[in-house]
Amino acid sequence: MVSAPPELALVPLLEIALAPLGIFEELPGAYDFITSNWSQFLHHLWTHIKLVLVSELLAILVAVPLGIAATRFPRAKPTIKGFGNTAQTIPTLAIIFLMLPVTGIGFVTAVAGLFVYALLPILTNTIAGIEDVEDGVVEAARGMGMTDTEVLRKIELPKAIPVIFAGIRTSSVIGVGTAYLAFFVGGGGLGTWVLQGIKLYNMEMAIAGAVPGALLAITLDSGFALLERYLGGDAQQSDDLVSA
Amino acid sequence: MIEFDNVTKQYDDGTVAIEDISFEVEEGTTTVLVGPSGCGKTTTMKLVNRLIEPTEGTVYFEGTDIEQKDEIELRRDVGYVIQEIGLFDHMTVRENVATVPKLKGWDDDRIRERVRELLELMDLPVEEYGDQHPTELSGGQRQRVGVARALAADPDVMLMDEPFGALDPITRAELQDEFLDIQAELDVTILFVTHSVEEALKMGDRIAIFDVGELVQYDTPQNVLENPKNDFVRDFIGQDRELKKLQVTPVRKVMYETNGERLPDVDPVAPSDTAQIALSRLLETDAGRLPVARDGEVVGVVEEADLRGTSDPTRGSI
Ligand SMILES: Nc1ncnc2c1ncn2[C@@H]1O[C@H](COP(=O)(O)OP(=O)(O)OP(=O)(O)O)[C@@H](O)[C@H]1O
Ligand SMILES: [Mg+2]
Averaged pLDDT of chain B? 88
The pLDDT assigned to A47 comes to: 94
Count of CB atoms situated within 10 Å of the CB of A31:
14
What is the share, in percent, of chain B residues with pLDDT greater than 70? 97
Question: Can you state the percent helix, strand and coil of chain B, rounding each to 5?
Answer: 40, 25, 35
With beta carbons under 8 A apart, name residues in chain B contacting A147: 72
Residue closest via CA to ligand 1's atom 28 equals B38
In the predicted structure, residue A141 carries a pLDDT above the cut 70: yes
In the predicted structure, residue A131 carries a pLDDT above the cut 90: yes
ipTM of the complex: 0.80
Contact check, Cβ <8 Å, A140/B85: yes
Rounded mean pLDDT, A215-220 = 92
The pLDDT assigned to A203 comes to: 86
The reply to whether B250-308 shares the fold of B2-247 is: no
Fold of B250-308: CBS domain Like (3.90.1280)
Rounded mean pLDDT, B160-182 = 85
| pTM of the complete model | 0.79
Task: State the DSSP H helix or E strand holding residue B25, giving kind and residue range, or none if neither.
Answer: strand B16-25
Q: Which CATH superfamily is domain A29-231 in?
A: MetI-like (1.10.3720.10)
SS3 assignment, position B270: coil
The pLDDT assigned to B261 comes to: 75
- Each as own residue / partner, the long-range contacts of residues B292-301 (CB below 8 Å, 24 or more positions apart, any chain) are B292/B251, B292/B255, B292/B268, B293/B268, B293/B269, B294/B270, B298/B258, B298/B263, B298/B268, B299/B255, B299/B271, B300/B255, B300/B256, B300/B257, B300/B258, B300/B271, B301/B255, B301/B256, B301/B257, B301/B258, B301/B261, B301/B263
| CB-count burial class (<10 Å; 0-12, 13-18, 19+) for B168 | exposed
The pLDDT assigned to B306 comes to: 82
Rounded mean pLDDT, B5-12 = 93
Encode pLDDT of B236-269 as tens digits: 888 888 888 888 888 888 888 877 777 788 888 8
- DSSP states along B182-207: HHHHS--EEEEEES-HHHHHHH-SEE
The pLDDT assigned to A21 comes to: 59
Per-residue confidence at B108, pLDDT binned at 50, 70, 90? very high
In the predicted structure, residue A182 carries a pLDDT above the cut 90: no
The pLDDT assigned to B315 comes to: 56
List all residues 6 or more positions away from A56 whose beta carbon is below 8 Å from its beta carbon.
Answer: A114, A118, A168, A171, A172, A175
Q: How far does residue B264's CA lie from ligand 1's centre (Å)?
A: 54
Count of CB atoms situated within 10 Å of the CB of A78:
10
**Which string of b and e fits B106-126 if b means at least 16 CB within 10 Å?**
beeeebbebbbebbebbebeb
Rounded mean pLDDT, A56-83 = 91
Per-residue confidence at A2, pLDDT binned at 50, 70, 90? very low
| CB-count burial class (<10 Å; 0-12, 13-18, 19+) for A54 | middle
What is the atom index within ligand 1 of the atom nearest the CA of B45? 18
List ligand 1's pocket residues with C-beta within 6 A: B 11, 13, 15, 17, 37-43, 83, 195
If we measure between CA atoms, which residue out of B29, B30, B33 comes closest to residue B18? B33
For residue B88, give the chain A residue with the closest CA.
A137
Low-confidence winner among A36-45, A70-79, A208-217, B246-255 (lowest mean pLDDT):
B246-255
Count of CB atoms situated within 10 Å of the CB of B36:
12
- Please state whether beta strands B189-194 and B157-161 pair in parallel, antiparallel, or not at all (unpaired): parallel
Strand partners, B4: B23, B59
The pLDDT assigned to A160 comes to: 93
Encode pLDDT of A9-62 as tens digits: 455 556 555 555 566 777 888 888 888 999 999 999 999 999 999 999 999 999
The pLDDT assigned to B42 comes to: 93
In the predicted structure, residue B317 carries a pLDDT above the cut 60: no
Rounded mean pLDDT, B183-208 = 89
Contact check, Cβ <8 Å, A145/B103: yes
The pLDDT assigned to A1 comes to: 42
With beta carbons under 8 A apart, name residues in chain A contacting B76: 144-145
Distance CA A243, CA B195 (A): 44
Fold of B2-247: Rossmann fold (3.40.50)
Chain B: closest CA distance from residue A151 (Å): 11
Contact check, Cβ <8 Å, A139/B82: yes
Distance CA B266, CA B292 (A): 10
Rounded mean pLDDT, B119-128 = 90
Domain ranges of chain B: 2-247, 250-308
